Structure 1
C-alpha cells in the first residue's frame, strides 16, 4: 500500500477542558491540571504548559466527623467552621494552632451556611427563618430574636449594616447600624421599617452581595444594584440603570474574587450559564461544552461555589454535589478544568473541598464528608493520603480523512522528581487512545516516568496501529511534581 514519508510533529495542548456536545468536534478532558501561558521571553518550547492543581494537605481534624458546611475568616482574623454531627451542625471557633472550640449547634443540613460580621458580631444564616449570632469578643452564641427578623439565604455587610434577603420574596432588609450581639439576641437589632424590594422585576431575591461599596440583589431571573444614599426613611436606594437580566440558578454558587462576583446564572430564556459581574452587567465565562455538561445534570440548584488563589493563580471552583462533579475556572487564562478526587471505590468523584477560607496565612479547605481541614498546597500531591488523578485528553489527530500509521508517541512531561512514598519502583504514566473519534478508549498502556534524578527520561510508546481519527489520553497519579507540555508523534500518512 502506498504511503507518504514518515513525519514527526508536536501535538500541542493550547487550552483547558473542552468536551463538545459532539465528541467528533472536541473530546479534550482536563482533570486536575490547569494550563498556564508561557511568557514569550526566552522562546519557550510551547506556548502553554499544564500544571497540577494543588493538593490537600491535612492540617487539622474536626472533633465532629461529617460534612463541613462552612469555613469563615472573620474581620478580626479568627477562623470559624460549621461541621455536621450526629445531632446537628456544630459551630466551632478554630485557633491559629487549630484548637477547636464548640460554640453552639444549629439544625443539620447539606447546604452551606453563610457568615458575615461587622467587627462586633457574626450573623449566620441557613436559608430558614431562624438565624444565629456570635459575639466576637466573648464567643457567646445564640439565636437571633424573631422581632422584625425573617432569616435569609444570604447575609452580607456594607456601610455598618447587615443585609439579608427575605426568603421566598423579592424583599431584602437591613439591621440597625453597628448592631451588637446583645441587640441581635435581645430583639432590637432590626427595625420593622428597614425593608425594601427589588423594583426592576418582581422575581425573588435569592442572594445578596456587597462589592465595590455597592449592594447586588441577585434574583431568580434578574439582578439589580443598590447603593447607600443616606435617605432618612431607608438608607439604600437603587442605582438608576443598574439592572441585569440574569438571575441565579444556584444561590450557593455565588462567590467573590477581587472585583468580581461569580455565579451560575438563570434568566427568562434558560439556565446553566456561568457568569461573572462586569460593571453593572455580567459576562458569560462558561463554554458551550461546560454548559451542555451542566444542563445534563439532574440537579443544578445545589451548586456550591468558592474562590481561592494560589501562586498568583485565582480560581472559581463550582461543585455540583448531586451530580458528583467539580469544575474550576482560572481567571487569568479564562480556561476551565475538572477537579476530581478518588472515592472509596476507586472511582473519580467530586473534589473533596466543600468550602474555603483564607485564614492564618493559609488557604484552608473543608472536606465534604469527614470534617478534615486541609491547606491547598501546590507542593503537596495528594488529597489527604489519597493519590490525585491527572488526566489530559489531546485534540483529534486527522489527515484529511485518510488513515495514519502511528509509529511513536512521546510524552513531553516533567520527570525525575522525588517525593511521595517513592520505592524502588518508578512512577508510572498511562497512555490510551480512541480510534472511534473519542466515543470509547482502549486499555491503557503503561510506561515508566523514571526514578528520582532521571530528568531526561522520555516516556514513549511505539507501533500504535492505524486510524483515520485518533484521540490520545495521558493519565498519571504520581505524588511528585510534574508538568505537561504536550507530546510528539511520529506518523506515516497512508494512501487511503
Structure 2
C-alpha cells in the first residue's frame, strides 16, 4: 500500500519558456523559511497582506506619495493632498501632469521644504509658510526624480544631459555651476539615487559614483576608478533597500548593489517574462515589515514582481481582474504601510490580517515544481495539503480552495476540485483529494480566494508504481 510522500509545495515564481522544465508561479504568497528547527516543514507560503480603504481623494490616479517627518503628502490627479490621521484629506495645491511624481525633502528652521517633481517642472511645499510654489530658478531644468543628501536636493535633467543639486538647504535655488555629466563614458543620464555617502548616477549603459567634496561650487565630484558597465532602464525603476540599491538594469536584468558592483538577482525565467515589455515605464517600490524586505517592480504593461531579501525568492503580486498589482505607491507612515491606487484616488492601509483588497477577492496561487518518478508511470492515490485551517470567521461561506493539476508541464489543466480549508473552528480538517489517475509527471495548482488566512505549510501525495 502506498504511503504519503512529501511534495515540494513551497517555492518562488520560476516559469520558464520551456514549461515542462518549470512552470512554477507564486502569486500573493511570500515564501518563508523556518528560522528554527521543529516546525511542520522547513518552508511555508505566508499569506501576503491585503488592504482596506483608508482615505479617498477626488482625483485619479495616485501619482506619488511621501512621508516628510510625519507629514503625509499624496499627489492624486493634478492635486497635492495632505492626508490626516483620521483618513481625511485636504487639497493644498496643484501639480500638473499625468505621470509619476517624485518627492524629497530637506530641513529648514522650524520645518521642511518638500520638493515634488513631475519630469518637466518642480514644486516646493514650505511647511513653515504653508505655501506651494513652483521652482522658477533659471538654473533648474526640471527632473523626473528627486533625492536628498547633505542638505542638497538632487535631480536629473529631463533630457539626460547632466545631473544637478540645489543650493545648500535651499530647495528653490540652483546654480549652473553645480552640474555634472557622465564622465567615464559618453552616456545619457537616466536617473540618480543616494546610497550611503555617495550619489549613484545611472546612464543608459553605465553607472558612476559621486561624492561630496565640500567645495563651494562643483560640490560633487566623480569617484575615480569606480564605474559600472550596467545602466538603469527607467528613471523610477530603482530603490533603496536593506542598506543597498536595487534596480532594473538597462540589459533587462535586475541587480543589487554589493559594494560598488552590480550583483544580478533576477532569474532567467523573470528575464524571459519581461523581455518584451516597456522597461522605460517600469517603476520600483519597497515594503519592509515583519522581517520581509521587498523590492517591488511593476511593469504597467505586464506583471508586478517582488524580490524578498529575507527568503531570496521572487514572487508576484496581482490584483483581481488585472495582470499587475493595483498599488502605484507604497509609503510607511506612523508605523503603518499605505498604498495608492493606480486607477482611482483611493489610499489603502495594508494589513496582514486582511485577506481582501478593499473587499475585492485577494487570490493567492501556487503552481508547484514538477513531481515525477524519473519517467516511470505512477498511480496517484491522493494529494494532501497542510493549510492553517479553521480560520474563517463565523458566517463566512467562502472557506474553499481550488486544486487542479497538469501532466504536460502546465499547458493543460484538469478541472479544478473545490475543497474546504475549514470553516470557523475546524482546525483538524484535512485538505485532501483522492483517485487522481496515472501520470509520469505532475504539476499542481492551488488557488485560494477566501477572506481568511491561507498560509500553506506542506504537501504530500500517495503515488504507487504502475505497469507501463
Aligned counterparts of 1:122 and 1:163: Cα–Cα separation in 2? 12
CA distance in 1, matches of 2:422, 2:400: 8
Question: Does the aligned pair in 2 maintain the 1:14–1:47 contact within 8 Å?
Answer: no
Structure 1 runs of 4+ aligned residues shifted over 6 Å read: none
1:365, distance to aligned residue in structure 2 (A): 0.7
Which secondary structure does the structure 2 equivalent of 1:12 belong to?
coil
SS of residue in 1 equivalent to 2:236: helix
- Kindly state the Cα deviation for residue 461 of structure 1 after the two structures are TM-superposed: 0.8
CA distance in 2, matches of 1:59, 1:307: 20
Q: Which ranges of structure 2 fall in alignment gaps of 5 or more residues?
A: none
Q: Work out whether residues 428 and 446 of structure 1, in 8 Å CA contact, stay in contact via their aligned partners in 2.
A: yes
Structure 1 match to 2:64 = 70
Q: 2:345 matched to 1:371? A: yes
Alignment of 1:401-412 (within 5 A): 401-412=375-386
Contact 1:63-1:100 within 8 A present in 2 as well: no
Structure-2 residue corresponding to 1:477: 449
Residue number in structure 2 paired with 1:337: 315
Give the match for residue 165 of structure 1. Answer: 156
Query: Structure 2 vs 1, CA of residues 426 and 80 (structure 1 numbering), >3 Å: closer, same or farther?
Result: closer
Given that 2:353 and 2:453 are in contact with CA atoms closer than 8 Å, whether structure 1 keeps it comes out as yes
Q: Which runs of 5+ in 1 are unaligned?
A: none
How many correspondences in the alignment?
464
Counting only pairs closer than 5 Å after superposition, residues 367-446 of structure 1 correspond to structure 2 as 367-419=341-393, 422-423=394-395, 425=397, 427-446=399-418
| 1:303 is the counterpart of 2:285 | no
- How far did 1:171 drift? 1.0
2 CA distance for matches of 1:328 and 1:225?
A: 26
Give the structure 2 partner of residue 54 of structure 1: 49
TM-score, normalised to structure 2, is 0.96
C-alpha contact (below 8 Å) 1:170/1:219 kept by paired residues: no
Q: Match for 2:247 among 238, 248, 263?
A: 263
Aligned to 1:455: 427
> Could you tell me how far apart the structure 2 residues matched to 1:142 and 1:192 are?
21
Task: Specify the alignment match of 1:114 in structure 2.
Answer: 102
Alignment of 1:315-354 (within 5 A): 315-323=294-302, 325-343=303-321, 348-354=322-328
Contact 1:154/1:206 (8 A) holds in 2: no
Deviation at 1:426, TM superposition (A): 5.5
Aligned partner (choices 177, 199, 216) of residue 168 of structure 2? 177
Give the C-alpha shift of residue 52 in structure 1: 0.8
Query: What is the Cα deviation at residue 400 of structure 1?
Result: 2.0
Find the residue that maps to 1:289 and give its secondary structure.
helix
Partner of 1:359: 333
Question: RMSD in angstroms over aligned alpha carbons?
Answer: 1.5
SS of equivalent to 1:127: coil
1:222-242 CA distance string (max 9 Å, x none): 111111011343111111222
CA distance in 2, matches of 1:169, 1:435: 51
Deviations 1:455-495 (A, max 9, x none): 11001111111111211111111111221123110111113
- How far did 1:306 drift? 0.4
Q: Give the TM-score normalised by structure 1.
A: 0.90
| Counterpart position of 2:266 | 286
